[in-house]
């Protein structure tokens, strides 16, 4: 029976999406599975009503395919079986009332465990203002910054603060990619009404992560445009995050861009060393780890301000510590994670510089050497040209060939532009990025 149930859950994820399966079937277990009948135990009558009304057909169809014979669905909660639940208006009302208050919100990511520094205090303040008064302050709130700086944490914090309030506000968190995949599944299986109901009618606060993923996806952008308009018309809060500001998202429809820019745009920068060490200390305390100062400094140097990479290193260190039962020291880390703390020296090349710049800006190396000239690409391209000229012995004509066959004067222009801004301290953000990239490449300025 367990193997059949696992197969059925996999089929449901393909048909209705991973998120809906997690919401409605996480606490469901099979009591019987075939040959003519499957019986599922659900938490309460509300779940039984909702599953019967919305998922009976797909459950019976997929279970019949797994068992190679027709089956009917029975639902049971406690000692009371529910064999046939018609789609009456009363059932529909009870089912909607029983919807969970949150979908996709990570309950562990909250404002009280978000470390605030100069790099993120504006975005943090804006997020708190939105959470305290949804749809009254800054709608939409658009948070942008490089990958791994805590944008997603702030979005979940907004959701959690809203959920902690004594009201019935429903919060939906979704990534733009999952939004698109769910829409495609609903189109395919003729369930667009359910899709629109979830995002347009039920969500009081909608949190959409990584909206740059919408770029170039015309059908998804159209659906999202109507969702956005419906929520704003109803006075609902929308919070968006992206690696780029709206104007720099190539392939984003103008009507969406203007709506994204219609609220408050808040940026997040890479944390300075003090903030990063404070974040590291908080995360090690949560894991019950004792990390000495020299190891903490080594970790901070390696992650270059990327909090997601910091999490990954701490997870590995925690696992190694638990396995070997030895104190966490810098020597321990170098011995058991030599790929991170004592990597083999690599020759500095233009390709490595381009790779590091691309990683820092969450773009591809091919974007830097390519021909596109959007603002989101020319800035990183010029930084790469500056670093390549500064840290290699190649001439401007030679560098031009490395950068996709460009004329030497183009590379010279990029180099001089960054040199003026960086060395004359006109652009603090650029200075921070260059220092982080040089740390990545083990360059000591």
Q: What is the pLDDT of residue 111?
A: 93
What's the CA gap between 247 and 251, in Å, rounded? Answer: 10
Is the preceding omega at residue 345 within 30 degrees of 0, hence cis? Answer: no
What's the CA gap between 142 and 212, in Å, rounded? Answer: 12
Q: What is the pLDDT of residue 215?
A: 87
Choose which CATH entry (3.30.70.100, 3.30.200.20, 3.40.50.1860, 3.30.300.180) describes domain 2-99.
Answer: 3.30.300.180
Q: What is the pTM of this model?
A: 0.61
Q: Give tens-digit pLDDT for 368-422.
A: 999 888 888 899 999 999 999 999 989 999 999 999 999 999 999 999 999 888 8
CATH 1.10.1750.10 assigned to domain 350-440? The reply is yes
Q: Beta 80-82 vs 171-175: how paired, if at all?
A: unpaired
Domain ranges of the chain: 2-99, 111-267, 273-340, 350-440
Structure tokens at 88: 């009456």
Q: What is the pLDDT of residue 80?
A: 44
- Do 2-99 and 111-267 show the same overall fold? no
Q: What is the pLDDT of residue 25?
A: 84
Q: What is the pLDDT of residue 444?
A: 64
pLDDT tens, N- to C-terminus, the chain (445 residues): 778 888 899 888 888 877 778 778 887 888 888 778 888 888 777 677 778 877 888 888 888 888 888 888 888 865 444 444 333 334 333 444 445 678 888 888 999 989 898 888 999 999 999 999 888 879 899 999 888 888 999 999 999 999 888 777 789 999 999 899 889 888 888 888 888 888 887 788 999 999 998 988 899 999 999 999 989 888 899 999 998 889 888 888 999 999 999 999 999 888 888 888 888 998 888 888 888 998 998 888 888 777 888 888 998 899 988 888 888 899 999 888 888 887 656 678 999 999 989 888 878 898 899 988 888 889 999 999 999 999 998 999 999 999 999 999 999 999 999 988 887 766 777 787 888 888 778 776 5
How many secondary structure helices (H) and strands (E) does the chain include?
Answer: 21, 10
Q: What is the pLDDT of residue 369?
A: 92
CATH 3.40.50.300 assigned to domain 111-267? The reply is yes
DSSP secondary structure letters along 169-228: --EEEEEHHHHHHHHHHHHHTT-HHHHHIIIIII-SEEEEE-GGGGTT-HHHHHHHHHHH
What's the CA gap between 157 and 214, in Å, rounded? Answer: 23
Sheet containing 141-144: order of strands: 102-103, 171-175, 205-209, 237-242, 141-144, 264-267
Q: What is the pLDDT of residue 287?
A: 84
What's the CA gap between 407 and 410, in Å, rounded? Answer: 5
Say whether 66 sits in a helix, a strand or coil.
helix
The CATH number assigned to the domain with range 273-340 reads 1.10.8
Q: CB of 104 within 8 A of CB of 173? A: yes
């Amino acid at each position: 029976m367990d193997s059949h149930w696992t197969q059925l859950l996999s089929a449901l994820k393909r048909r209705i999406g991973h998120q809906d399966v997690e919401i409605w079937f996480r606490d469901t277990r099979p009591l019987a599975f075939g040959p003519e009948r499957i019986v599922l135990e659900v938490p309460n009558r509300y779940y039984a009503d909702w599953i019967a009304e919305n998922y009976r057909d797909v459950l019976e169809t997929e279970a019949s395919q797994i068992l190679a014979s027709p089956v009917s669905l029975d639902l049971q909660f406690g000692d009371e079986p529910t064999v046939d639940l018609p789609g009456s208006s009363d059932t529909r009302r009870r089912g909607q009332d029983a919807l969970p208050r949150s979908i996709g919100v990570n309950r562990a990511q909250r404002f009280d465990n978000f470390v605030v520094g100069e790099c993120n205090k504006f975005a943090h303040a804006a997020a708190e203002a939105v959470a305290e008064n949804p749809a009254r302050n800054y709608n939409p709130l658009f948070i942008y910054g490089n990958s791994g700086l805590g944008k997603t944490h702030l979005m979940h914090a907004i959701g959690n603060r809203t959920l902690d309030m004594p009201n019935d506000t429903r919060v939906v968190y979704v990534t733009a990619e999952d939004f698109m995949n769910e829409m495609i599944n609903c189109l395919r299986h003729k369930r667009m009404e359910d899709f629109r109901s979830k995002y347009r009618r039920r969500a009081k606060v909608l949190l959409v992560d990584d909206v740059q993923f919408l770029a170039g996806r015309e059908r998804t952008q159209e659906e999202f445009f109507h969702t956005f308009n419906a929520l704003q018309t109803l006075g609902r809060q929308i919070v968006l995050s992206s690696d780029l500001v709206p104007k720099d998202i190539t392939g984003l429809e103008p009507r969406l861009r203007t709506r994204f820019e219609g609220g408050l745009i808040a940026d997040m920068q890479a944390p300075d060393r003090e903030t990063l060490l404070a974040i590291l200390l908080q995360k090690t305390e949560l894991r019950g780890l004792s990390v000495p100062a020299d190891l903490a400094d080594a970790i901070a140097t390696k992650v270059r301000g990327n909090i997601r990479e910091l999490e990954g290193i701490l997870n590995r260190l925690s696992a190694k510590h638990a396995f070997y039962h030895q104190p966490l020291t810098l020597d321990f880390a170098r011995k058991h994670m030599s790929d991170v703390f004592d990597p083999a020296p690599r020759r500095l090349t233009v390709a490595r510089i381009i790779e590091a710049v691309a990683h820092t800006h969450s773009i591809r190396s091919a974007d830097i050497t390519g021909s596109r000239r959007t603002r989101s690409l020319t800035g990183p391209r010029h930084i790469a040209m500056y670093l390549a000229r500064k840290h290699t012995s190649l001439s401007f004509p030679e560098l031009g060939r490395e950068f996709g066959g460009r004329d030497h004067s183009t590379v010279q222009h990029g180099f001089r532009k960054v040199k003026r801004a960086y060395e004359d301290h006109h652009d603090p953000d650029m200075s921070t990025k260059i220092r982080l990239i040089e740390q990545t490449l083990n360059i000591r300025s």
